Amino acid sequence: MIDASTKEEVLIEALPYIQTYEGKTFVIKYGGAAMTEDQLKQTFAKDVTILRKIGINIVIIHGGGKEITEAAKAFNIKTTFIGGHRYTDEKMIELVVMMLAGKVNKEIVNLINTNGGNAIGLCGVDNMLLRAQKHMPDGVDLGLVGEIASVNVPFINLLLQNGMMPVIAPIGVGENGQMLNINADLAAGAVAAALKAEKLVYLSDIEGVVVNNKLVSTLARSEAAKMIEAGSIFGGMIPKVRSAFDTLETGVNKVHIIDGRIKHSLLLEIFTDEGIGTQMTHEG
């Protein structure tokens, strides 16, 4: 148990942040351990509910990579990853929709709502929330993988203005109505940019960007490019880092990668002076 004076200090330290962030929008990419471990799931649901209740607009974009891979195994569908992206054929997109827009999305929404958070579950198909086009990173064909062409911002704002917390599964609609699988990190970045969010936070299952066993607490674009080139940033960290910098360029103030394995890491990042994880910055 923490004593009363420590509690008081913590609350007082939080006050200026609460005042600064009231009425602002935070986009949170929810993934990794915070999404799979029971205790961490509960603390996440409480954290976002607190943020919402003190007047911050919260928009959640979730992943679900592990669940999709497990379901693919159960259905005997082969999973292939290229540069951190899932190759997606006709069979795989069905599974992605089933797992992301169905099971995973509803579990998250249910959890938040049992904590009082007014969450509403959506995917990019709902009211054309996420229009998408085929995505070919570095010219690689990933099948039915999309990138966001536009976000239905008025729709999200309508929900936020009415006290709801949108929880979005990253499935987009292509021009011909084809559903496209979108990497959740890229989707979170695009949504944050479209909403002109104050902050974008990636909740993952690692301390942040780690190079040579050391946490990189601030990362500039040019350094990140070198780390990707050298292979010290790889796999699922690549889309996170790339979309972080693209988002910064659109005017989103701050982008962080934080450790979802730490209880209440979201609150610690937002309401304490120290900050945790990796913060992405403009050069200089």
Ligand X SMILES: Nc1ncnc2c1ncn2[C@@H]1O[C@H](COP(=O)(O)OP(=O)(O)OP(=O)(O)O)[C@@H](O)[C@H]1O
Q: Does 66 bind ligand X (CB under 6 A)?
A: yes
| Size, binding site for Mg ion by CB under 5 A | 1
| Size, binding site for ligand X by CB under 6 A | 19
Q: How far apart are the C-alpha atoms of 282 and 133, rounded to whole Å?
A: 28
Which residues in the 218-247 window bind ligand X by CB under 6 A? Answer: 232-237
The amino acid at residue 229 is: E
Q: Does 189 bind ligand X (CB under 6 A)?
A: no
CA distances from residue 273 to 47, 57, 150, 210 in whole angstroms, order as listed: 18, 21, 35, 22
The three-class DSSP label of residue 218 is strand
**Gyration radius (Cα) of the chain, Å:** 18
Q: Least Å distance between CB 202 and Mg ion? A: 9
Residue nearest to Mg ion (CB): 236
Q: Does 64 bind Mg ion (CB under 5 A)?
A: no
Which residues in the 17-56 window bind ligand X by CB under 6 A? Answer: 31-32
Decide: residue 144, CB within 10 A, 0-12 exposed, 13-18 middle, 19+ buried.
buried
**The one among 46, 48, 63, 192 contacting ligand X by CB under 6 A:** 63
- If the CB atoms of residues 166 and 260 are measured against ligand X, the closer one turns out to be 260
Q: Does 65 bind ligand X (CB under 6 A)?
A: yes
Q: How far apart are the C-alpha atoms of 210 and 206, rounded to whole Å?
A: 8
Q: Going by DSSP bridges, is the β-strand pair 179-181/171-173 parallel, antiparallel, or unpaired?
A: antiparallel
279 neighbors 256 (Cβ within 8 angstroms): yes
- If the CB atoms of residues 124 and 236 are measured against Mg ion, the closer one turns out to be 236
Q: Choose the contact partner of 66 out of Mg ion, ligand X, none; CB within 5 to 8 A by kind.
A: ligand X
Q: How far apart are the C-alpha atoms of 67 and 103, rounded to whole Å?
A: 9
Q: Least Å distance between CB 54 and ligand X? A: 26
Which residues in the 225-254 window bind Mg ion by CB under 5 A? Answer: 236
**The one among 120, 210, 220, 225 contacting ligand X by CB under 6 A:** 210
Q: Choose the contact partner of 237 out of ligand X, Mg ion, none; CB within 5 to 8 A by kind.
A: ligand X
The three-class DSSP label of residue 180 is strand
Residue 101 phi, psi dihedral angles, 5° rounding: -75, -20
- If the CB atoms of residues 221 and 242 are measured against Mg ion, the closer one turns out to be 242
Q: Least Å distance between CB 257 and ligand X? A: 8
- Collect all residues with Cβ–Cβ distance below 8 Å to 175 and sequence separation of at least 6: 133
Q: Which residues are at the interface with Mg ion (CB under 5 A)?
A: 236
Q: Which residues are at the interface with ligand X (CB under 6 A)?
A: 31-32, 63, 65-66, 184-185, 204-206, 209-211, 232-237
